[in-house]
Structures are given as structure tokens and as C-alpha cells.
Structure 1
Amino acid sequence: MKKIIFILALFISFSSCKSSKRSKRSSNSSSKIITKKSDANENDRVVISSEEKKYTPRNANSRRTKADNIIEYAESFEGVRYKWGGTTKAGMDCSGLIYESFRAYDVNLPRISRDMAKRGDKINLKDVHKGDLLFFKTGNRRNAINHVGLIVSIENNDIEFIHATSSKGVMTSWINETYWHKAFYEARRVL
């Protein structure tokens, strides 16, 4: 009986691992977001439909690269719990975080980390920049890429990257941490 329950639970978990699909809204329904530019003048309102709205960075007026915007979007998920196949603030996995962060700025990547590792140009770790991707093999039996992170900063020859771990959810780590240094496989530039 225990085996049947275990197999049933395993089957359910595998059948729900696909990335979530978003419902399509009809063009008739357009929720509006109204924001005020200043408190002094009520006529200074800006109306943006939710279909047109992209994530707006904190410093939208400053000159920012696409990589900066993607990184900031990814950082908005920091602290979100891990969920295999997740792509929302309700739960996120490593490839879901990268997929959604790049998608928010019209960069289409595959949904799975090992497929992402086939995109862009392979680069040496010493040549990486903010916005590049790091790929890892974290000791699974198939010896395949199974983890991805996004470089958010480079300080004193150490690389900080954001990713989602099964134990702590979306967080930042450093490549020189023993675990990540040993698991590192390659870096790629997709921007």
C-alpha cells in the first residue's frame, strides 16, 4: 500500500512539473493602472494598460543596459520559495527565474537550463560581464547541466549570481563558494 501511495505521489509530482501557462486575455478586457506624476496637479495622470506594461526599473530615467534591467527584474524575485517548474512569485525554479527575467525584456530563451546552455556564445569565466549566464552540473547521475544562474555583479575577481535553489529559493551566491566553484561547468553570453 505504501508503494502505491509513493508511486501515485511521484506520478502527480512529475505530471505537474511543466512550466505554467498564462491565460490569454481578450483584447476587450483592459485593466488600467493609474499613477500620479505629482500631487499638485490631478491632470498629470498617466494611464497604462496592463497588457502594455513591462516591469519598470527603479531608476527608469537613468541610462541602463538591457542586462541591468534583466538583473533588476530577477532581483525582484529574491526570497521567493523554490517550486519545480515555477515561473511566478508563488514559486520559482532556477531556469524559470532566468526564462522569466529575460522574457520580460523580449529575449526568448528555452525554458530548461540544459537547453539554455545551447544558446549564445560560450565564454571564459575571466571574460564574463553582468547579464551573462552561468551553468552548473550539481552532481546528478546523468552528468548534465541542471542549474543556471544570472551574473549580477563582479567584485574582486569573484562573481555574484542570482539563482533559485531548492533549499533557499531565489537568492544570490558567489562563484568562489566551494559548492558552486566545484559544480561550475560553463558561462555563456546571450545578450
Structure 2
Amino acid sequence: MKKLVSISLFLLLALSWKASGQIITSKEEAVEKGLYSYSEVPGSLDITSGSSGSQSSGTERSKKKKKHRSKKNESVNEPTTQPVTVAKKEIELDENDYGFVSDFSLENYTQIQIVNNAMDFEGVRYRTGGTTKDGMDCSGLVFTTFKIFDISLPRSSYEQAKVGEEIKLSEVKPGDLLFFKTNRRKKTINHVGLVTSVENGEILFIHSTLSLGVTISSMSEEYYTKSFAQANRILN
């Protein structure tokens, strides 16, 4: 069909030009004389007047369209030249990562793990002589926690106070032990707690009490300030 249309147009041009004394014998000749032009775009056909300068040929327009499409494709496929910035997440170890411990370092790793394990017992009820989650007393909490790390301590708070190095209260760090004399009549060490945090001068420690079981208290509380006896460092 397309070929038939092309032949018919060619004959029409030839007959019309013959009337003016010229005979067109081929499509090439018609193009040379400015009577016929074509486009490379399928379905596009252009018949011009004798003056070829009156409008752009189909071939030129086709080239422009191709050039336009080429630029469009280049803009779509153009690689990104802007640098990709990956935000670095700074890892900070604070009290949320290690219970109440905020001064983590490789040097005090064991102390931190001891504190973490002691914190697992928080909420366990008080039980005289107890050393498990079914119930434990103050020295039982300390004894069981250190035993997890194969560190053997005496069973009573009185005997535990004889182990390690005695230090000043102002020098304590997480993992150190605090000893108290809560019995006014005997006036001997009968209670022990494990330091969990030292923040802005406030010392927190975990211990087991008759009323609350395993809980956390502060050395700023008057009761513990008055009954404090000494502090010991088991691990250096």
C-alpha cells in the first residue's frame, strides 16, 4: 500500500510538471529539482513547492528530532557526579548500654560484666542464706555474682570485707564493694552492696534488703551515709 501511494504521488508530480514542459523520470530527479522531499520518520511524507528554501526538509527535521531524542536520553542516563555522603554513626557507650555503668573501657570490662550480672537479680526477694533467684541476702547476691566469673568470695559480708584492697569512698568505681554496720548493738559489718554507678558524685549500689529484696540505693541516703563502714576493691 505504501509503495502504491509513493508511485501515485510520483506520477502525479510527473504529469503536473510535464504541463510546464519538464518530464520527471525518477524520485532522485524530483528531489534535485525541489519538488519532492521525504522524512525518515515512518509515515511522514512531504511535498514542497519549487522553492526549497521556504521550509526545512523532512530529512533535516528528522535529524533535529533524532538529536533531540539523543540529548534527552543523555540527560536521563547521565551518571550522578555528586558525591554520595554516608553519615557516620558515632557509637557511645552509656548507661543504657551497660546498665548503670557509663565509664566503659577495656580495662574495666570484667567489672562492668559483674555489674551487669548483678543487675539481672534486681527484684529478687530477700531470703536469709539465699544465693539464687528464688531468694538471696546481701552477701548471697555478691557471692553469686562473683562466682559467675569464677571469683570465690567468702559467704558472709563480714568475711567479704577482708578481701581485696580497702579504698576511700571518693575513689570507688563500678564493681567495688561497700560495707555497712546496720546493727547498732553489734557494731560489726553485717551488710554489703555492689557499686553500679558513680555519676556527678552520687554513688549508686545494688544490694538485698529485708523489705525490698534486691534493689538499688544511693549513698546520698542518710541511712547509708551513717551506717557506712568501708569500701573494698576486689578487682584492680
Q: What TM-score, normalized by structure 1, do the two folds share?
A: 0.66
Distance (Å, rounded) in 1 between the aligned partners of 2:152 and 2:164: 11
1:1-191 matched pairs, under 5 angstroms: 65-191=109-235
CA RMSD of aligned residues (A): 1.6
Distance (Å, rounded) in 1 between the aligned partners of 2:183 and 2:129: 20
Distance (Å, rounded) in 2 between the aligned partners of 1:139 and 1:146: 7
For structure 1, the residue ranges without an aligned partner over 5 or more in a row are: 1-57
What does the per-residue CA deviation read over 1:74-117, in whole Å, with 9 as the maximum and x for residues that have no partner?
A: 10000000000000000010000000000101111100000000
Letter in 1 for 2:179: F
What does the per-residue CA deviation read over 1:165-184, in whole Å, with 9 as the maximum and x for residues that have no partner?
A: 01100000000101111110
Question: Per the alignment, in what secondary structure is the counterpart of residue 118 of structure 1?
Answer: coil
Q: Which has the higher contact order (CA 8 A, sep 6+)?
A: 1
Q: What TM-score, normalized by structure 2, do the two folds share?
A: 0.54
Runs of 4+ in 1 over 3 A off after TM superposition: none
Distance (Å, rounded) in 1 between the aligned partners of 2:135 and 2:218: 22
Distance (Å, rounded) in 1 between the aligned partners of 2:172 and 2:125: 28
Distance (Å, rounded) in 2 between the aligned partners of 1:178 and 1:155: 18
Letter in 2 for 1:170: V
How many pairs were matched up?
132
More strand by share: 1
Distance (Å, rounded) in 1 between the aligned partners of 2:125 and 2:205: 17
For structure 2, the residue ranges without an aligned partner over 5 or more in a row are: 1-96, 99-104
